[in-house]
Amino acid sequence: MTHYISLLALIFVFSGCSKEPVPAVKTELAKGEQPALTLVVGAVAADGCNVYSGEIRARRETPLGFRVGGKIMERLVDVGAQVKPGQILARLDPADSTLQASAAQAQYQLAIEEVKRYRELRSKNFVSQSALDAKEAALKTISSQAGLATNQAAYTALHADHAGVIAATLAEVGQVVAAGQPVVRLAQDGEREVAISIPETQFSGLKIGAPAEVSLWSAGNDAIHLSGHLRELSPVADSASRTYAARVALNNADASVALGMTAQVRFGTRDKRGQLIVPLTAVFQEGDQAAVWVVAADHSVSLRKIKVAAYRDNGAVIASGLTAGERIVSAGVHKLNAGEKIRAIEGEFADGSAQ
């Protein structure tokens, strides 16, 4: 009986499986154009010169401080103030210096009267000549001390030595400063230069007097280009940054070159021959052969072999295989196939030379 029930169960299972299978739904998608970043190759200068960022500074910047110590009672200028020679910049509390000057002046008047008496006594032969000489010597000493006290009283006012602009304020009202401690920094009118830092790896290649091109970006997209030369190069590297401080003098700076502007400095002469540079992401490497995907008028791509002259941080310098004006794929080159059509998306080269 058990074998009979098992047989009936098997027949039932096979009869259920004999139904025709449901036909599979076709899921083939329609072919579409794959989006890809592209750019038009343009000719740019590829001279390989190093570019340094810096700041416009005055040739002469003087830290100004009082010649005597004391408490600052008044500061008459702030950062950016234009000053003239002799203009008062700050004042100290004059109380102590005034008292010292008054005491010294009183001692001087007393010494004058003392010498007058001794001269009268000497004329009557009541005192010796040596006694009179001692009083006259004492008068000269006291006179010098009175003059020094008077000068120190005048030193409580800080004057500008030259015309210029206040680049920094280094002390505040109420602060007690020592003699010679900087209170303000004065950037003198006149010559302007660019302060930059040179890395260790490029220090040996620069010499004093090397020609330089300076670009100012304060005018927006229209950069101001000036010529200059390396005026100063520190022989000792900064202990923190391990760079060498340098100053580039501007040959033809005018009033439009303001202090604090950002500048870019390039040493040497530009290579005027146009070379083609493409992004490193646009280069498709097949073994030891480099190639790029060129986009045709119908948006189809084809692989073209190129010869790379040099690889740099800003891209690959093309020696042959491409011409200016051709459109290439700039990213995703490993996802393309020859003859495939793409939907071109305008890209921008980081160097700014091709778009």
Task: Tell me the domains of the chain and their CATH numbers.
Answer: 34-48+273-346 (2.40.420.20), 51-59+190-267 (2.40.30.170), 66-185 (2.40.50.100)
pLDDT at site 193: 92
Please name the residue ranges forming H helices in the chain.
2-17, 95-123, 129-154, 200-203
Which band of pLDDT confidence, cut at 50, 70 and 90, is reported for residue 20? Answer: very low
Distance between CA atoms of residues 266 and 49, nearest Å: 7
pLDDT at site 236: 93
Asked if residue 175 has pLDDT above 90, the reply is yes
Asked if residue 41 has pLDDT above 80, the reply is no
Expressed in percent and rounded to 5, the helix, strand and coil fractions of the chain are: 25, 40, 40
Asked if residue 2 has pLDDT above 70, the reply is no
The pTM assigned to this predicted structure is: 0.53
Between 260 and 235, name the one with better pLDDT: 235
State pLDDT tens for residues 236-259. 999 888 899 999 999 877 767 888
With tokens 């040596």, the residue in question is: 130
Residue 34's alpha-carbon distances to 29, 127, 300, 329, 344, in angstroms, are 13, 119, 10, 12, 8
Lowest mean pLDDT among 31-35, 109-113, 302-306, 308-312: 31-35
